[in-house]
Amino acid sequence: MRTQIIKVDTNATDWDKQLDQAAEILRSGGLVAFPTETVYGLGANALDETAVEAIYRAKGRPSDNPLIVHIADTAAVKDLADNTPQTAQALMDTFWPGPLTLIMPRSSLVPDIVTAGLDTVAVRMPSHPIASALIKKAGVPVAAPSANSSGKPSPTLAKHVIEDLMGKVDVIIDGGNAEVGVESTVLDITVTPPVILRPGGVTLEQLQSVLGDVVGSPVPDTAEMPGTPKSPGMKYRHYSPKAMMLLVEGAPEQVAAEISKRAELYCREGTAVGILVTDETAALYEPSLYSCCKVLSLGSRKDPNTLASNLFRCLREFDEKGVEVIMAETTDVKGIGQAVMNRLIKAAGGNIIKL
Ligand code: AMP
Ligand code: MG
């Protein structure tokens, strides 16, 4: 398949005209990858079963992992969901457009393939101007998982999508960096109190300020969740770089000492090592390590949004450099840190040392 890459700069006049063709392709059953504020998404017309099937094929996504349906107008919810739960309105008013996905009872309009046969549907209204304009122009709800090969780190730049999906989709829209950097928060509002099925761009604390009572998502000790999780996607090893990954948790000095010790051993045997640090801890590592390892900072612990924003890009950068082992510091599980730790633990396949 020939994949067309369309670069869109939202500062240009009439930029949205550049989306006309992609919108037409979406409407008529094609696959279009596009930027959202969380990560890049791979979209298809959610009401077209064959088009949605093609998403699963292009990504190699297991068919029991349902998709999020993206809309550009809250009015579309009534077509997709039956008996919208009471809490929905306050959540939509506060967090839409934005990185919050609501799980609601599904309507008969939504094909089985979108929900993987569940009786609920996941709906989100993204805030990214390109995502929003594209969905509006297409005039259909757009099913869109992250635009990566299943299992790999999610894409935050068009080049990540190109790496994974070139030749497998009709269009890739390059709209620059996906700022939030982690996926949306998935919130089940079919139960009382609502339950976070996947931590993401909207934090537990933000949801509590609107809902009062919310059940947070436990930080898993391992990547594999036991039993049948309510959000099927959470059971897979996910977001994983090619390298083996190890998380080290503890006081910053101890963590740096442990990672340095292990890195030296790896360096001596010629293994390519990547170390994931933060701006505040970078100086705790021996200068000599900087010559034998690839060291990347996720950003500043004082602004945890930067940690989320850079996470997947750093994991992909290690892969690009041929790193074989990645060692990473952990981060506080407050605010967006919940989502960052969730992704780190899954990327590491639950491989964590607690000092
Ligand atoms: P992705 O689009 O790749 O970021 O993944 C979407 C996430 O939403 C996965 O973890 C899915 O399991 C979850 N999801 C989608 N639809 C539902 C649903 N109806 N009920 C529960 N979780 C869902
Ligand atoms: Mg995904």
Specify whether 277 is located in the same domain as 133.
Answer: no
What does the pLDDT read at residue 240? 86
Residue 24 has pLDDT above 70, yes or no: yes
Specify whether 115 is located in the same domain as 185.
Answer: yes
Residue 53 domain boundaries: 4-211
Q: Which of 65, 189, 217 to mutate to test the pocket of ligand 1 (most atoms within 8 A of CB)?
A: 65
Specify whether 289 is located in the same domain as 189.
Answer: no
Specify whether 317 is located in the same domain as 259.
Answer: yes
Query: How many domains does one find in the chain?
Result: 2
Of 190, 211, 232, which residue is a domain's last? Answer: 211
Residue nearest atom 7 of ligand 1, based on CA coordinates: 233
pLDDT (tens digit per residue) in 248-303:
999 999 999 999 999 999 999 999 999 999 999 999 998 888 888 999 999 999 99
Per-residue pLDDT, averaged over 184-204, amounts to 97
Of all atoms in ligand 1, which is nearest to the CA of residue 234?
A: 10
Cβ(183) – ligand 1 distance below 6 Å: yes
Instruction: Kindly identify the ligand whose nearest atom is closest to the C-alpha of 195.
Output: 1
Would you place residue 228 in the very low, low, confident or very high pLDDT band (cuts 50, 70, 90)? low
Instruction: Kindly identify the ligand whose nearest atom is closest to the C-alpha of 236.
Output: 1
The alpha carbon of 12 and the centre of ligand 2 are apart by a number of angstroms equal to 30
The alpha carbon of 198 and the centre of ligand 1 are apart by a number of angstroms equal to 8
Is 223 inside any structural domain?
no
Is 227 inside any structural domain?
no
Query: Which residues have their alpha-adjacent CB atom under 5 A from ion ligand 2?
Result: 146
Cβ(197) – ligand 1 distance below 6 Å: yes
Specify whether 343 is located in the same domain as 198.
Answer: no
Q: Phi and psi for 199 in degrees, rounded to 5?
A: -70, 145
Report d(CA 102, CA 182) in Å as an integer: 16
CB-based burial of residue 108 (10 Å sphere; 0-12 exposed, 13-18 middle, 19+ buried)?
A: exposed
CATH number of residue 252's parent domain = 3.40.50.11030
Instruction: Name every residue whose Cβ is closer than 8 Å to that of residue 234 and which is 6 or more positions away in sequence.
Output: 197, 198, 225
Of 189, 211, 233, which residue is a domain's last? Answer: 211
What does the pLDDT read at residue 226? 46
Specify whether 202 is located in the same domain as 248.
Answer: no
What does the pLDDT read at residue 34? 98
CATH number of residue 136's parent domain = 3.90.870.10
Specify whether 124 is located in the same domain as 169.
Answer: yes
Is 90 inside any structural domain?
yes
